[in-house]
Amino acid sequence: MADIAVSMKAYAKLLLHAAKYPHCAVNGLLLAEDSKTSKEKKQIRFVDCIPLFHLSLSLAPMLEAALLQIDSYCKSKGYVIGGYYQANEHLTDNGLNNVARHIGRKIHDYYPEACIFMIDNNRLNPESVSEVYRVFTMKEAGWKESDKRQTIDEDTLQTAAVLLEQEQYRHLVDFDNHLDDVANDWRNTKLNEIIDRCL
């Protein structure tokens, strides 16, 4: 398994997605640099994330529509769908469920280094001193928590905390929002600009 690096944009958006809907399960996709074009072959670099759903995580037609659009977007940017993240609905439920395993398996079929990030709901606060998720990778026996400890740099944690305190999740658009009104941009260009200004 290659080392994992998570950009500020990817980390902040998955955190803000979970914070925007604390009463719901949420999920999304992590976009990685295509290993064919990446300079770092021994590292998976997650550069962005696309928030998917907060209403129902497993509706196949909506997921397929989202995946088609996101895959086309990735090809235009030189990215691949390299991971999946999920926060479960209940505060104490931080385990993989069938939805996470199934979507993770589909991503793994196309990208063998795929990871699942399970968000720990108890750590969704601005005072969090480490990443808010656990990483799972595919082993022979199925999805297992990664024994490789990857850390988020201090600047990313501090910036994410500031964005959370400022309630910037109000600007986050997931695919459910886009399906309600196609004028809502699932690429989150406005939020990306806010995050970029923090760099």
Number of compact structural domains in the chain? 1
- Give domain status of residue 110, yes or no: yes
Residue 193 lies in a domain: no
Instruction: Identify whether 158 is part of a domain.
Output: yes
Q: How confident is the model at residue 192, as a pLDDT?
A: 97
- Within a domain: residue 196? no
What would the two tokens of residue 48 be? Answer: 């962005």
Scanning the structure block, which residue is given the tokens 């925007």? 20
Q: Is residue 199 a part of any domain in this protein?
A: no
Does residue 83 lie in a domain region?
yes
Is there a domain that residue 181 lies in?
no
pLDDT score, position 38: 55
Cβ neighbours for 107, distance < 8 A, ≥ 6 positions apart: 29, 81, 82, 83, 84, 114
Cβ atoms 132, 120 nearer than 8 A = yes
Cα angle 48, 165, 26 (rounded to 5 degrees) comes to 45
- Residue ranges making up the domain that contains 66: 3-173
Domain of 60, CATH number, reads 3.40.140.10
**Which parts of the chain sit beneath pLDDT 70?**
1, 36-41, 148-151
- What per-residue confidence (pLDDT) applies to 47? 96
Q: What pLDDT was estimated at residue 40?
A: 56
pTM, two decimal places: 0.93
For residue 191, tell me if it sits in a domain: no
